[in-house]
Chains A and B, each alone.
Chain A
Amino acid sequence: EAGVAQSPRYKIIEKRQSVAFWCNPISGHATLYWYQQILGQGPKLLIQFQNNGVVDDSQLPKDRFSAERLKGVDSTLKIQPAKLEDSAVYLCASSHPGGRLFFGSGTQLSVL
């Protein structure tokens, strides 16, 4: 069974530029999550989708972050414009409702 796929693996941008990350969850997993992990910390939930609907985006900085999951499968997370403090690893995860959470390898973002 294929795992959670994410791309790109690394991205370096300058502040005020925009960036997008892509995620393809495990086949059949209805729930998709985006987490932000700052160096030395645990993952912090940004947004959770159930199929193509948003379940929780209470910690998403909506003035600069957006995410979509139009067809209920893959998802994109965008930052526009990026700030220095957005430097982090962005992790995508998926699960069955009430099931175990599986992560992709993440995208390491450096904002200069």
Chain B
Amino acid sequence: GQQLNQSPQSMFIQEGEDVSMNCTSSSIFNTWLWYKQDPGEGPVLLIALYKAGELTSNGRLTAQFGITRKDSFLNISASIPSDVGIYFCAGQLLTGNQFYFGTGTSLTVIP
């Protein structure tokens, strides 16, 4: 399967700080998705991106589809304790409907 490299692997931040994470691949994707997963639950979709260069926001979250179509970025502004969880990127190849997932970024917000 495809390998998506996500960084950083983990983050420990103070409440109110901004957060940035990214996802890179050696392959070109036509869709990028960002998910948040809480312990014991399935991933929940946060943002979907469909075009190179696209910038999309969902509340305090902003994600971008990289120009090269091989990467994507997620930013969280003014973090709060409920942002704690594991964030995954997922990419869909140009051919087929398969979605491949990154290795995850674990976010801890310190009140």
Give every chain B residue within 8 A of A4 (Cβ-Cβ). Answer: 42
Q: Is B44 an interface residue (CB 8 A)?
A: yes
Determine whether B110 belongs to the interface, using a CB cutoff of 8 Å to chain A: no
Contact-residue bracket for chain A: 20 to 34
Using Cβ atoms and an 8 Å threshold, which residues of chain B touch A6? 42
B41 near A42: Cβ-Cβ < 8 Å: no
- Per-position 1/0 for B77-109, Cβ under 8 A of A: 000000000001010100011111111100000
Q: How far is the CA of A43 from the CA of B31 in the complex (A)?
A: 17
CB-contacts of A24-50 with B (<8 A)? 31, 33, 35, 40-45, 48, 50
B1-59 with Cβ < 8 A to chain A = 1, 4, 6, 31, 33, 35, 40-45, 48
Residues of B near A66 (CB, < 8 A) are none
Query: Number of contact residues on B: which range applies?
Result: 20 to 34
Q: Is the CB of A102 within 8 A of B45?
A: yes
Given A55-B97, A56-B96, A98-B97, check contact A42 B42 (CB 8 Å).
Answer: no
Q: Which of B41, B90, B98 contacts A48 (CB 8 A)?
A: B98
- CB pair A44–B101 under 8 Å, yes or no, is yes
A66 to B74, CA, bound (A): 36
Bound complex: CA of A24 vs CA of B42, how far in Å?
Answer: 14
The one of B44, B48, B88, B97 that contacts A97, using a Cβ cutoff of 8 Å: B97
Residues of A with C-beta under 8 A to B4: 42
Q: Could you say which residues of chain A place their CB within 8 Å of the CB of B97?
A: 31, 48, 50, 55, 95, 97-98
With A31-B97, A42-B104, A56-B96 known as contacts, the answer to whether A108 contacts B40 (CB < 8 A) is: yes
Residues of chain A touching chain B, judged by Cβ–Cβ distance below 8 Å, are: 4, 6, 31, 33, 35, 40-45, 48, 50, 55-56, 58-59, 91, 93, 95, 97-98, 100-106, 108
Query: Please, could you name 10 A-B residue pairs with CB atoms under 8 Å apart, sorted by A?
Result: A4-B42, A42-B6, A42-B103, A43-B101, A55-B96, A59-B1, A91-B42, A100-B33, A103-B42, A103-B43
Q: Which residues of B contact A (CB under 8 A)?
A: 1, 4, 6, 31, 33, 35, 40-45, 48, 88, 90, 92, 96-104
